Amino acid sequence: MLGPHSAASAGLSPEHRLGIDVADGAILLRRHPVGRPLVDARGALTLPAAARHLCGISGSDLIVLAAGISRNRLTVYPAAMVARILAAHHSQLADGPP
């Protein structure tokens, strides 16, 4: 479960229903009229266990949230994935242009 500030920062509240997809190791949440209610009365966002499992996210893992508010989307990335991407990027920067 993610704290109340995560859902509110993405413009989500308990009345919003969310569609869930998993792609490339990330969880994609979008407002959807027949989706699931994943935001509780406190504003905390619950990520379904199956989606967390598919992305290799356990209860104690750090995550990175990216909110696409204008597109009504919230993407959840495992922090380890973001760290790998940034490490590769910085490695390329350190090597400089060919």
The partner residues of 48 in beta bridges, in order of sequence, read none
> Is residue 50 within 8 Å of residue 57, measured between CB atoms?
no
pLDDT in tens, 63-94: 888 887 777 788 999 998 988 888 888 888 87
pLDDT in tens, 9-56: 677 788 889 999 999 999 999 989 999 888 888 888 888 999 999 999
Task: Give dist(CA 84, CA 51) in Å, integer.
Answer: 21
Q: In total, how many domains does the chain have?
A: 1
Task: Give dist(CA 53, CA 61) in Å, integer.
Answer: 12
> Is residue 28 within 8 Å of residue 20, measured between CB atoms?
yes
60: containing domain? 4-95
The model carries a pTM of 0.79
